Amino acid sequence: MKNVKVLGTGCANCKTTLKLIEEVAAEKGVAVQLEKVEDIQAIMGYGVMSTPGVVIDGSVVHAGGVPSRDKIAGWLSDVSTATKPGGSGGCCGGCC
């Protein structure tokens, strides 16, 4: 499971981004722990000056504007197909 944070103060774009991530994750069957961060100091701590921002496992992947479904799907695909160094492929470097 990946930790996904949507950074924003609660505007319509932030809410739309949160909903899109939920929908795309469900469609792709990717387990995510989704969190909404509204605290301005916390948002600025990520270096995000334009919201909504999206953080996956501590790394900012997006800032400013609503991301497209394709962009979100790409982030989730990257997450679900990651390999460990020295692994033989798949999500855990195992047999898949």
CA angle 69, 34, 86 (to 5 degrees): 80
Domains defined for the chain, CATH in brackets: 2-80 (3.40.30.10)
- pLDDT tens per residue, range 7-47: 999 899 999 999 999 999 999 999 999 999 999 999 999 99
Predicted local confidence at residue 1, as pLDDT: 83
pLDDT surpasses 70 at 6: yes
Predicted local confidence at residue 77, as pLDDT: 85
pLDDT surpasses 80 at 86: no
The length of the chain, given as a count of residues: 96
Q: Which of 90, 93, 76 is nearest to 2 (CA)?
A: 76
- pLDDT tens per residue, range 43-64: 999 999 999 999 999 999 999 9
Q: Residue for token digits 């692994």?
A: 87
